[in-house]
Amino acid sequence: MRVLVTGARGMLGWDVCRVFAARHEVIPTHRAELDLTDTAATLAYLRERAPGVIVHCAGYTNVDQAEQEPEAAFAGNVLTTWNVVRAAQDTGSLVVYISTDFVFDGTQERPYHEFDAPRPLGVYAQSKWAGEQLVRSHLQRFFIVRTAGLFGLHGRNFVAAILERAEQGQPLRVVSDQVCCRTYTVDLAEALLELIDCPLFGTYHLTNAGYSSWYDFAREILAAAGLEEVSVQPISSAAWDGPARRPAYSVLDNLCWRLTGHQPLRPCAEALRDYLAARQVPNSH
């Protein structure tokens, strides 16, 4: 099957292309080749290639900057999705839309499943929720996949940032009152490959098993990397004082994934070990 991947040079898109290529014909796209905010160009490009599946990984991801440039965030997450959805109506493509745990406000005291009502707090979260609504309202064949805390070899992420600061001897101050899941992009890509064969379309949560605060995760990263002696200072979200509000508790329950007979993704600790090992392999990037 022909699978078109947007954001193919991004952290998730890179692994989606690699994993899917084992079983499908992959068409990687990036903003250098295709501006997804250009409606005419997007429609022409996708009509010409007529993919069976579109995995829409591209998007605006700077959570704090989105507060200063809401139109750019909505262009990157809503207009691009609108154009992809419109093209998919013409080509009959199945669309996989990558969303986020940030669509929830974090006030719940149990993990959020797919049928809980979203309540996005900031501009980034609102733009991702708006993208979800476009997919849900205009298509019949789609998967909306909410994930969280992505880390992988081909992009900036929390794990790499912690390791770089530790190796450079920089002080580590990490928020201790925000709790969520994490997801290794390789594991998510493999789950998406499995998901596109599922006949039950809709919304799915997909993360590695387990959850913790960012502070506890930072300590786990350092321990796994043999850097236990590095000190980490826990701080509150208020002390961090970022422009965007973030949910205090956005743990995702992968309920629909289990209900449809899929095996849970492996624990985050196992995925983290594989990621750290891959970072040491020459040319793995």
pLDDT in tens, 126-148: 999 999 999 999 999 999 999 99
Share of the chain above pLDDT 70, in %: 99
Give SS3 for 124. Answer: helix
Decide if pLDDT at 18 tops 90.
yes
Give SS3 for 213. Answer: strand
pLDDT of residue 44: 97
**What's the rounded Cα separation, in Å, for the pair 175 and 273?**
23
pLDDT of residue 171: 86
Tokens of 248: 């205090």
The listed CATH number (1.10.3720.10, 2.40.50.1020, 3.40.50.720, 3.30.56.10) that belongs to domain 2-279 = 3.40.50.720
**What's the rounded Cα separation, in Å, for the pair 198 and 207?**
18
Decide if pLDDT at 271 tops 90.
yes
Q: Give the predicted TM-score (pTM) of the model.
A: 0.95
Binned at pLDDT 50, 70 and 90, residue 240 comes out as confident
| Segment 168-186 mean pLDDT | 94
Give SS3 for 273. Answer: helix
Nearest CA among 272, 267, 168 for reference residue 225 = 272
Nearest CA among 157, 155, 144, 187 for reference residue 19 = 187
Of 60, 97, 112, 124, the catalytic one is 124
Nearest CA among 214, 146, 220 for reference residue 179 = 214
Binned at pLDDT 50, 70 and 90, residue 52 comes out as very high
Tokens of 133: 């609504």
Residues whose CB is less than 8 angstroms from the CB of residue 83 and which lie 6 or more positions away in sequence, other chains included? 36, 37, 38, 39, 42, 43
Residues whose CB is less than 8 angstroms from the CB of residue 218 and which lie 6 or more positions away in sequence, other chains included? 158, 162, 172, 174, 232
Share of the chain above pLDDT 90, in %: 91
Q: What are phi and psi of 175, to 5 degrees?
A: -65, 135
Q: Which amino acid is at 267?
A: P
pLDDT of residue 218: 97
Q: Is 275 an annotated catalytic residue? A: no
Mean pLDDT, rounded, of the chain: 95
Tokens of 223: 């321990």
Nearest CA among 250, 271, 270, 130 for reference residue 189 = 271
| Segment 92-117 mean pLDDT | 97
| Segment 218-224 mean pLDDT | 96
